[in-house]
Amino acid sequence: MKLPGALSVPPFRRLTVAWTFGNFGDSALYLTLAIWVKDLTGSDAKTGLVFLFLGLPAFLAPLAGHLADRLPRRRLVVVANLVAAAGVMTLSLVDRPGDLWIIYAVTFGYGLLTYVTSSCASGLIRDLLPDEHLAGANGLLQTIDQGLRLLSPLAGAGLFAAFGGTAIAVLTASMLVIAALIVRTVRMQESGPTPVDERGSFWTEFTAGMRHIRRTPRLFGLTALLAVAVGITGFANSTIFAAIDEGLDRSSEFFGVLASVQGAGAVVGGLTSAWVIRRLGERVALTTSLVVLGLALASAAIAQVAVVAAGFFVAGVAIPWTFVTYATIRQRLTPPALQGRVSAAANLALNGPQTFGTAGGAALIAIVDYRLLLAAMAAVIGACAVAALAAGTAPEEPAEQVAKAAA
């Protein structure tokens, strides 16, 4: 039986299986690290530092992208997974509060290696697949990612409760080793890095991803708009707990229920994203996804459980639509030699503002009604949606011109 779309390419199928094993280990580990710190110390502040150390590597993403464009990507994914597995196994040394530095160091290092593998994946997918299969491939990987987030955190928390942190370390390390072995078996022709004698200075090469985004009008416009939209959603990390407490009169544990509802919506969004892009086109699909996301966030101001839950589900659908569309545009408008650096630059452009948005939301929620913050988020995202419709009409550089400029 002939498989549809990207799955008809055998090397991509192997990468997908490897992605599944690696992401299962990721999802099981991240939540458990926070639980582990909470159990060791009882401190919410020290528990929150886990998420800080997980977010800080975003500012080193350009370095990860530089590596992905300078070394054989498939081999780099194998090495990164094995190094990550070895690092995770050091968690077995943690058994008292004085060992917290090990958890923080592993969290930071693991997060950085994740950016390395993500940058490599962008280039590998671009080398393997034609343009018409990119949306389907990105949607499939997004579906796997979101689906695992529904299951593996529960498995990780249960394993931690039953057998302790060392069991989580062994589970995650095993998943990473299996992923590395599968990637090792992938046979493909990589585009390869730029020859040494054709490269510029270190700074020129290091910033090439950012400069490519800047000089590609359509890509620059959409990246800037998404940076604003994603940045303002950082407010949601604080406002949603106020909506649960003040609006719904529920305990903070109810967030777990809503997160599961959102995860279910994200699976639907991942599965349907390629179809939406095909039916609407990239420009309208991105605009539609932002409009839907803004309306979903605004619905949290209505103090009814059914409405808020429906809003979370719809937001879950809209998020994969947004990022699959953007990733597809980014991959298509980027030459192979720049895929890693452009992917890393885009990650920095989107994740950096969200970090500041989270801090701003935490400060504002103490003095501003949560419903006003939700309205502000919806308004800003709606404005970005309108602007994205116009930005999508920016002229695209011919592929050969883009490649020549990149060289």
Cα separation, 225 vs 386, in Å, equals: 10
Cα separation, 145 vs 158, in Å, equals: 20
- Chain CA centroid to CA 122, Å: 12
pLDDT at 152: 74
Dihedral over Cα of 272, 278, 281, 282: its sign: positive
Averaged pLDDT, 100-110? 92
What pLDDT digit, counting tens, does each position of 342-363 carry?
988 888 888 888 878 877 877 8
Averaged pLDDT, 257-264? 82
Among 144, 164, 182, 119, CA closest to 24 = 144
Give the DSSP per-residue string, 126-174: HHHS-HHHHHHHHHHHHHHHHHHHHHHHHHHHHHHHHH-HHHHHHHHHH
Dihedral over Cα of 112, 211, 340, 330: its sign: positive
pLDDT at 91: 92
- Domains of the chain, first to last: 1-193 (1.20.1250.20), 208-407 (1.20.1250.20)
pLDDT at 44: 61
pLDDT at 62: 85
* Model pTM score: 0.78
First to last CA, the chain: 41
Averaged pLDDT, 157-171? 86
- What does pLDDT average to over the chain? 84
Cα separation, 115 vs 344, in Å, equals: 7
What pLDDT digit, counting tens, does each position of 109-160 carry?
998 999 899 888 888 888 888 888 888 888 888 888 877 777 776 777 788 8
- Tokens 């280039």 belong to which residue? 123
pLDDT at 223: 93
Tokens read off for 233: 């959603």
CB 323 within 8 A of CB 135: no
Question: How big is the chain, counted in residues?
Answer: 407
pLDDT at 14: 92
CB 373 within 8 A of CB 364: yes
Integer CA distances (angstroms), 251 to 247, 255, 291, in order: 11, 8, 30
* Angle of CA points 148, 105, 59, to nearest 5°: 75
366: left (phi over 0), alpha (psi -120 to 50) or beta: alpha
Percentage of the chain beyond pLDDT 70 is: 89
* Angle of CA points 334, 319, 8, to nearest 5°: 55
Residues 6+ apart with CB under 8 A from 178: 18, 21
CB 260 within 8 A of CB 356: no
pLDDT at 405: 45
Least trusted range by pLDDT, from 127-131, 140-144, 235-239, 380-384: 235-239
What is the b/e burial string over 276-314, where b = at least 16 CB atoms within 10 angstroms of the residue's CB?
Answer: bbeebebbbbbbbbbbbbbbbbbbbbbeebeebbbbbbb
CB 290 within 8 A of CB 229: yes
Half-sphere exposure of 187 (CA within 13 A, CB side): 1
CB 115 within 8 A of CB 350: no
Among 194, 70, 71, 68, CA closest to 123 = 68
SS3 content of the chain, % helix, strand, coil (to 5): 85, 0, 15
Residues 6+ apart with CB under 8 A from 281: none
Residue with the larger pLDDT of the pair 289 and 400:
289
Strand, helix or coil at 73? helix
- Chain CA centroid to CA 239, Å: 21
Task: Count the Cβ atoms, other than its own, within 10 Å of residue 35.
Answer: 18
